[in-house]
Structure 1
Amino acid sequence: MTKAPREERRQGPSLVRGKFLPDTTYDERLLDQRGSTEWLHMDPWRVLRIQAEFVEGFGQLADLPPAVTVFGSARTPVESPDYALGELLGKALSEAGYAVITGGGPGCMEAANKGARAAGGVSVGLGIELPFEQKLNDYVDLGIEFRYFFVRKTMFVKYSCGFVALPGGFGTLDELFEALTLVQTRKVTSFPVILLGTAFWGGLIDWVRETLLSTGKISEKDLDLIRVTDDVDEAVRVIVQADQERKVVPHDV
């Protein structure tokens, strides 16, 4: 006995049948002023928000000079030596001709933005919507607030020619290891990753060497992806050298 064909409908590139058939069409729901606004929070609509964030980020940042992204704890107090180190770093990067990009928050991020502003450089903050209040710091000249972490991370990488990590927590570690993964897998090339503060970062580097390397989770050359120093001038020299090497041997984008 031949089964009756199931009702079906084309929805753009999609084909739906049976229980997936909606009671109304997209046009009908779009033009109907009544009913729930829940559709504004559904995944297809989120795609447009995500697209808009990429467009806004690309548009705002496209004309930046060469830039370096600085990460570090939002909880660092102004009187901390780490805050002073961040100011020196921001100032030195600006004097070397680089825009300074941070997450735009307080603490070490504010310090780097402050140093960049004091040196007359370009100070950028890429903020993120969080469940607790955190506004862009007062030393950001160009600020963008993002809804989505992955869009923000794309901007950090696309518009930077290196990362410098000041002492920080989970957020800093997240950005650090994502950057290292991108360099290790050659998604980005000639991209220095520098940890500023040997006392803070030393234990992590020891663990990477004694646990990851010794058990074959990484290779010896992967350790060379990280530069650890207390010297702001050395950090800037590493970035400048990598930048010069990149210009000599250009890479496809």
Structure 2
Amino acid sequence: MAPDPLPDTPAAPDPVAARLSDDLAPEVEEAVGTLMDAVGDAEEADLIRAIVRTAALLGRDDTERLDLKIVRAAVAEMREAFAVFAPYRHVPKVTIFGSARTRAGSPLYLQARRIAAELADAGWMVITGAGPGIMQAGMEGAGRDMSIGVNIRLPFEQDANDVITGDPKLVTMKYFFTRKLMLIKESAGFVALPGGFGTIDETMELLTLQQTGKAVPAPVIMLDEPGGSYWEGWARFVTEDLVAGGYVRPEDVDLADRTDDVAVATGLITGFYRRYHSIRWVGTRLVIRTLQPVSDEDLEDLNARFGHLCAEGGIERATPFSPERDDDDHLDLPRLACTYDVHQMAGLHHLVRAVNATGG
């Protein structure tokens, strides 16, 4: 065992702690303030200031050039993508995942085109990765006006397809992680068709976000060609290896619905919002906003079936909480609230579906 240092021996400075410090030199703080004054009265000035301070801290920390290039590119392409999506923020959107190598006219291609057309007819915009295959099929089905493309720069196989090329609703990303952020962040529904590593990666990350509560509940549909077995094979792997091995819970499998019927898939997406509107966390309280009030009988049934999802108490009606009032956050909508057990996020999907089934 090494001896303790002598009492008069000063401890060596901790370089990691120094790097993680949020303290800036006074003259740098003053410069940040001057810059913010020049920016003007931005509505979210506190967040913009925090971003500027983080950039200054990166400089203070002698961050390596390659790391800075990653930050610069990621922030720049997120800014561009946010600007592309901003005019359509209140339009419901569905993201379609699938292989870039699916041939035009194949059964899978036609499935993607059909579901995109049906959802566009229902008022949903369609987001895809803007490439060929399933991505192009989705945009053909939705049409250029109802399509948004989030492309990726690759050394092969990924020019934007003809449907979206030249459209202002196309953004091209350098990094997969920023691309996945935009493919997932803006959508209220998801359709995954068979594909390769990229499709599986996107789908599994989406399910992970749903499983862990890092994303709000949303319908996830695994759509196959008529009679296809791709997603059934995936379900066998999850059940026989992941569930059986104790890596995921049995109810986690229900985070996605599997079908080969376009009409069923469309109904699962639009029906997810039949009565359910949105959720918000207020401290430990989960608030579920609904489009219509839930009756006494239905509330009793929800508690009987889903009361086990509450860490304490039960599901009850609520009025807007103080943070919701401060943000003017859908104050006109009816609400349910409970102290939700965050270890059972998959159960929240079942609760939302049950809310949608209320009211006859």
* 2:198 corresponds to: 171
CA distance, structure 1, for counterparts of residue 76 and residue 23 of structure 2: 22
Q: How many Å separate the matches in 2 of 1:74 and 1:203?
A: 21
The secondary structure found in structure 1 opposite 2:99 is coil
CA distance 1:200–1:245, shift in 2 (3 Å): same
Whole-angstrom distance in 2 between the partners of 1:41 and 1:123: 37
**1:226 and 2:272 aligned:** no
Amino acid in structure 2 at the alignment position of 1:241: G
Q: Does 1:240 align with 2:270?
A: yes
Work out the CA distance in 2 between the residues paired with 1:195 and 1:121.
Answer: 25
2:95 to 69, 72, 77: 69
Aligned to 1:57: 81
Letter in 1 for 2:258: V
Structure 2 residue 114 is the aligned partner of structure 1 residue 88: yes
Q: CA deviation at 1:220?
A: 1.5
1:97 and 2:123 equivalent?
yes
Instruction: Kindly provide the amino acid, as one letter, of the partner of residue 161 in structure 2.
Output: N
Q: Which amino acid aligns with 1:208?
A: V
Match of 1:152 in 2: 179
TM-score w.r.t. the length of structure 2 is 0.57
Q: Name 1:22's counterpart in structure 2.
A: none
Q: Specify whether residues 121 and 89 from structure 1 end up closer, same or farther in structure 2 by C-alpha distance, changes over 3 A only.
A: farther
Q: Residue by residue, what CA displacement relative to the aligned partner does 1:158-177 show, whole Å, maximum 9, x if unpaired?
A: 11011101111111000000
Structure 1 residues 147-195: Cα deviation after superposition (integer angstroms, max 9, x where no partner): 1111111111111011101111111000000000000001112211111
TM-score, length-normalised on structure 1?
A: 0.80
Cα distance, 1:245–1:170 mapped onto 2, change above 3 Å = farther
Instruction: Give the match's secondary structure for 1:251.
Output: strand
The within-5 A match list for 1:94-243 is 94-117=120-143, 121-140=145-164, 141=167, 142-197=169-224, 198-243=228-273
- Deviation, structure 1 residue 13: 5.6
Amino acid of the residue matched to residue 126 of structure 1?
A: V
Q: How far apart are 1:218 and its partner, in Å?
A: 1.1
Structure 2 Cα separation of the partners of residues 56 and 246 of structure 1: 31
CA deviation vs aligned residue, 1:211-238 (integer Å, no higher than 9, x gap): 1112211112101101000111111111
Q: Which residue of 2 aligns with 1:27?
A: none
Which residue type is aligned with residue 157 of structure 1? I
Are the equivalent residues in 2 in contact too, given 1:190–1:242 (CA < 8 A)?
A: no
Which secondary structure does the structure 2 equivalent of 1:42 belong to? Answer: helix
In 2 relative to 1, CA 225–245 (structure 1 residues): closer, same or farther, beyond 3 Å? Answer: farther
Q: Distance in 1 between matches of 2:64 and 2:148?
A: 31
CA contact (8 A) 1:94 1:121 kept: no
Shift of 1:14: 7.6
Q: Moved runs in structure 1, 4+ residues, more than 6 A?
A: none
Aligned CA distance change for structure 1 residues 128 and 41 (closer, same or farther; 3 Å):
farther
Deviation at residue 243 of structure 1 after TM alignment: 2.8
Correspondent of 2:66 among 42, 51, 56? 42
Which runs of 5 or more structure 2 residues have no equivalent in the other structure?
Answer: 1-8, 11-18, 26-62, 282-328, 330-360
Alignment root-mean-square deviation, CA: 2.9
The answer to whether the Cα contact below 8 Å between 2:216 and 2:279 also exists between their aligned partners in 1 is no
Where structure 1 has 5 or more consecutive residues not aligned to the other structure, the ranges are 4-9, 16-38
